[in-house]
Chain A
Amino acid sequence: MVVNQLGDAEIDRIFHALSDATRRDIVTRVLRQEESISQLARRYEMSFAAVQKHVAVLARASLVVKQRSGRERLVHGNPEVLRTAARLLGEYERIWHHRVRNIQDILSEEDE
C-alpha cells in the first residue's frame, strides 16, 4: 500500500496513458525533442487521427503539452509528471525499509 501525494484520478490517468506502447514511444520522443503531430503521425503505421487521439490521452495526463505554432501543433514532454509518478515507487521502497526496522523492534522487544 502506497500513501501517495497524487489524487486517485490523476494516477489513473497517468497509468492509463502509459499503458500503450505507441503512447510510451511518443512520450520518449517528445521528451527528447518536440515534434508536431504530423511529424509523429509519419512515424507510426496508423492514421493521423489515431495519433492525434494518443496525444490527447497523453495531454490529459499532463505527460505531454501541446502548443500551437502557426499552423502546426507542437508536442513536448513533461518530465515533471513522470518524476511525480516515479516517486510512488521510491515511496514504496522507503516504506519497506521502515517496515523491516519495525519488525526488528518487535522481535527485540520480545527478547527482553
Chain B
Amino acid sequence: MTVISSHQDTQALTLTIVAEYDAAPDRVWRVWADPRKLERWWGPPTWPATFEQHDFTVGGSSSYFMTGPDGTKAHGWWRITAIDAPKRLEFDDGFADENGERSPDMPVIHCAVTFEPSGTGTRMTTVSSFASIEELEKLIEMGMEEGMKLAEGQIDAILAED
C-alpha cells in the first residue's frame, strides 16, 4: 500500500512528498535508474515523457520531452548531482527549448530523493526545492494557502495576518 503525505515549507521553499512502497529499495531505485520505467511515471497524466538520454551517473545529464494531448512537446533536462544507490539521488530539473537547449531564464528545481527500508518495503521521500527562484517564497505565501481565501474575497483578513 502506498502511504503518501505532502508538505509545503514556505520558509525553506520546498515541497516534500513521502510515499511508501511494498518493494525493496533497489526495486524502487530502478524506477528512477531505468529510463524505460522512468518515462512511464514522470510525465503528468496527459503529458507522457520520453527520455532521449539518461546518463544516470554523478555529473550525468538526461534529456527528455513530454508530449501533450495536442502533440505539443515540452522539453526538459536533468543534471545528476548525487547518487548513492539505492539510498539517495539528487538532481536538478529544468526547462529546455525545442532543440533540447537549456532555457537559462526558467526556474530550475532541485530534487533530492531518499530511499529508506521500511518494514518489508521502502519509504521514498522526494524534496523539491525552488532555490533558484527565491521569489517563490512570497508567491507561495501569498498564493498557495491563501489563494483559495483570496478567491473568496477575504483579502483583508489574509493581509491582516501578516
Contact = CB atoms under 8 A, between A and B. Distances in A.
A111 B44 CA distance: 24
Given A86-B144, A90-B144, A96-B6, A107 B19 contact: no
B85 interface: no
Interface string A88-101: 01101111111111
A15 B19 contact: no
A107 B21 contact: yes
B134 A100 contact: no
Given A31-B159, A32-B156, A82-B147, A104 B21 contact: yes
Interface in A68-112: 79, 82-83, 85-87, 89-90, 92-107, 110-111
Contacts of B12: none
B159 A86 contact: no
A35 to B, nearest CB: 13
By secondary structure, the B interface counts as mixed
Given A19-B135, A110-B27, A95 B44 contact: yes
A96 B45 CA distance: 11
B103 to A, nearest CB: 7
A90 B143 CA distance: 10
Interface string B21-58: 11100011001000001001110110100000000000
Given A31-B155, A86-B142, A93 B6 contact: yes
Given A3-B74, A19-B134, A96-B17, A82 B28 contact: no
B41 A1 contact: no
Contact of B4 (A1, A86, A95, A100): A100
A6 to B, nearest CB: 12
Interface residues of B, number: 51
Contacts, number: 122
B21 to A, nearest CB: 6
Nearest to A100: B19
Contacts of B41: 99, 102-103, 105-106
Nearest to A15: B135
Contacts of B107: 15
B48 to A, nearest CB: 10
A93 B14 CA distance: 11
A60 B15 CA distance: 29
Which of B44, B95, B140 counts the most A-chain CB atoms under 10 A from its CB? B44
13 contacts: A3-B47, A8-B95, A28-B142, A82-B143, A82-B147, A89-B15, A96-B17, A98-B44, A100-B4, A101-B2, A104-B2, A107-B23, A107-B27
